[in-house]
Amino acid sequence: MRLADLSEHSGVSLATIKYYLREGLLPPGRRINATQAEYDESHLRRLRLVRAMIQVGRIPVATVREVLAHVDDDSLGLTFRLGAALWALPHPTEPSSDPEDDPSTTAAHTLVADLLARLGWRTTCEVGDLNPAHRALVAALATLDRLGYPLDTDDLLPYARTMEQAAAYDLDRMEILPTPREQAEYAVAGAVLFEPVLLNLRRLAQAEESGRRYGL
């Protein structure tokens, strides 16, 4: 398809598509002459992902560019490709700026280390303290502790086991897609668009369970 067709099929203006091309968010089309290029379904899929990241996820263009650079990096194995792309995304709970010798932070580090050991999860870069999600988890647990809501490993294990099942289902669905690039795009789309689905399902489930237990 030509650029005008890409605009028509996506609902994105020509000016915006040209901007995405200049910024490296959308790969160039296949050149067919000096002034025209041809685009395919992969461009349409990428364009929709970019729009979702910027409009729904409110992710800055520079961050979108970084995430997509990892998605497109064919030199990486799939685990590192997914990890690099997801690490580059903004994280809703940033790591605490409290000193490492703060008692609650120290306790949270110990708690997370014990939890990972109980789960048998590898404490490598994938789930170790270099991972933004690991650091955000420590920060959240430390904050809960300071507020008087401390948790222990037994409190967290049922949630972690449920997340294991969810992660397995995520990857099962991802593996339906034919190429590592499409799989990485799917993972990014899931992080931006599907995590709110899970959050709101949890809140609806809590409301339903509350009604069952306590009535209206």
Please report where in the chains the tokens 């669905």 appear, as a residue.
Answer: 173
Instruction: Specify the pLDDT at position 104.
Output: 94
How confident is the model over 91-115, as a mean pLDDT? Answer: 78
Confidence band for 124, pLDDT divided at 50, 70 and 90 = low
Higher pLDDT pick, 101 / 60: 60
Q: 140: part of which helix (H) or strand (E)?
A: helix 132-146
Instruction: Specify the pLDDT at position 33.
Output: 79
Kindly list the structural domains of the chain, giving each domain's residue range(s) and its CATH number in brackets, ordered by start. Answer: 1-88+177-216 (1.10.1660.10), 91-164 (no CATH)
Beta-bridged to residue 32, according to DSSP, are none
Instruction: Specify the pLDDT at position 135.
Output: 87
Structure tokens at 112: 């997370």
How confident is the model over 100-105, as a mean pLDDT? Answer: 83
What is the rounded CA–CA span in Å between residue 13 and residue 86? 28
How confident is the model over 167-190, as a mean pLDDT? Answer: 93
Q: Is the pLDDT of residue 178 over 70?
A: yes
Which of 155, 184, 154, 153 lies closest to 170, judged by CA? 184
Helix axes 3-10 and 41-51, enclosed angle (nearest 10): 50
**Under 8 Å between Cβ of 66 and 46:** no
30 DSSP assignment: E
Instruction: Specify the pLDDT at position 94.
Output: 53
Instruction: Render pLDDT for 41-66 as a digit per residue (tens, 0 to 9).
Output: 999 999 999 999 999 889 999 999 99
Residue 38's Cβ-side half-sphere holds a number of Cα atoms within 13 Å equal to: 6
* Range with the poorest average pLDDT among 16-20, 192-196, 208-212: 192-196
Instruction: Specify the pLDDT at position 216.
Output: 76
Average pLDDT along the chain: 89
Q: Is the pLDDT of residue 99 over 70?
A: no
Instruction: Render pLDDT for 17-36 as a digit per residue (tens, 0 to 9).
Output: 999 999 999 998 888 877 78
Which of 79, 78, 50 lies closest to 66, judged by CA? 50
Write out the DSSP string of 171-189. HHHHTTSSSHHHHHHHHHH
Instruction: Specify the pLDDT at position 162.
Output: 94
Beta-carbon contacts of 106 under 8 Å, excluding residues fewer than 6 positions away, are 100
What is the rounded CA–CA span in Å between residue 99 and residue 81? 32
Other CB atoms within a 10 A radius of the CB of residue 185 amount to 23
Q: Is the pLDDT of residue 163 over 90?
A: yes
Beta-bridged to residue 37, according to DSSP, are 31
Instruction: Specify the pLDDT at position 125.
Output: 53
How confident is the model over 124-153, as a mean pLDDT? Answer: 86
**Under 8 Å between Cβ of 26 and 44:** no
Instruction: Specify the pLDDT at position 123.
Output: 61
Instruction: Specify the pLDDT at position 193.
Output: 86
